[in-house]
Amino acid sequence: MGEWDALASLARFVRYRDFGRDDTAFYDVASALSAAGRPGDAVLLDDDLGRGLLARWYDGPLPLAVSADDPAMGSAGRVWGVYWASPDRAVERNLSLAACPAATTWYKNVRVVLNGAPSLGAPRALGAQFGDMARLLSASTGSALNAGGILCVQLEWSPLARTAERYKAFVHLMDSAGRVVAQTDSEPQAGFMPTDQWQPGVLVSDRHGIALPDNLPPGAYQLMTGLYRLSDGARLPARDAQSRRYPNDEAPLGELTVR
């Protein structure tokens, strides 16, 4: 290493230390991408510096982008979002609107979110109501489901009243015995539309991705959803369009077939 490189490395170390950052986390991210990345995947980072750090450790085939406009993003079947630098989270926000966030993993101070492509079918009208807070108008889901893939679900909420509480939406994939075989739990729209910011009359589009296990048996499965309070985990009462309460306060979104 040359003198200027050594000084730059030292300056970077001091800068990261002062801001509570640790660039060695990118070694772990690179290892994870090498192990779990698939042909057709892409990686989206929230700044050029992060891309440079990841490129030091990752020499695999997945393209490393810092913009959703990168051509590699348009053809990607799955996108690994790598977030660590952006205070406004603009890159993550934009990706959450264009894809289906599925699974989150922390590597020290770097957060990696696996996103699925939004291959959504026609919306299915629902009309389920959750407490006095919101009505679930419709749900759209992916059509071709395969073990090891990502199921995309888009929920359309119609807020009925303001609330100071924050709720998470859960989406569960259940087998014929009523067991949850795959799931996602997050605040609406990857946390960018928390329920304490919902306004009556303003519709909320809420995308979720569910990572399906590699060993998930083929067959018919039921998709269920609901809302629960962050503070204590209590679910909002869920009722159908005729005001009948759903068991376990979870509304059915329809049956899906895994091939």
Instruction: Specify the pTM.
Output: 0.87
Name residue 71's amino acid: P
Q: Which of 230, 231, 210, 232 is nearest to 221 (CA)?
A: 210
The pLDDT assigned to 19 comes to 53
Tens of pLDDT along the chain (259 residues) come to: 445 444 444 455 445 555 555 678 999 999 999 999 999 999 999 999 899 999 999 999 999 999 988 898 888 999 999 999 888 899 999 999 999 999 999 999 899 999 998 888 899 999 999 999 999 999 999 876 889 999 999 999 999 999 999 999 999 999 999 999 999 999 999 999 999 999 999 999 999 999 999 999 999 999 999 999 999 999 999 999 999 999 999 999 999 999 8
Name residue 110's amino acid: V
The pLDDT assigned to 10 comes to 46
The pLDDT assigned to 190 comes to 93
3-state secondary structure of 226: strand
Question: Using a CB cutoff of 8 Å and minimum separation of 24, what contacts does 118-127 make?
Answer: 118/152, 118/154, 118/207, 119/143, 119/144, 119/152, 120/152, 120/154, 123/154, 123/156, 124/253, 124/254, 126/241, 126/251, 126/253, 127/240, 127/241
Annotated domain spans of the chain: 3-116, 124-258
The pLDDT assigned to 22 comes to 64
3-state secondary structure of 246: coil
Q: Please provide the DSSP assignment of 98-143 as one string.
A: HSEEEEEEEETTEEEEEEE---B---EEEEEEETTTEEEEEEEEBS
Beta bridge partners of 220: 257
Determine the Cα–Cα distance for residues 79 and 48; give it in Å rounded to an integer: 17
H or E segment and range at residue 145:
none
Which architecture does CATH list for 124-258? Answer: Sandwich (2.60)
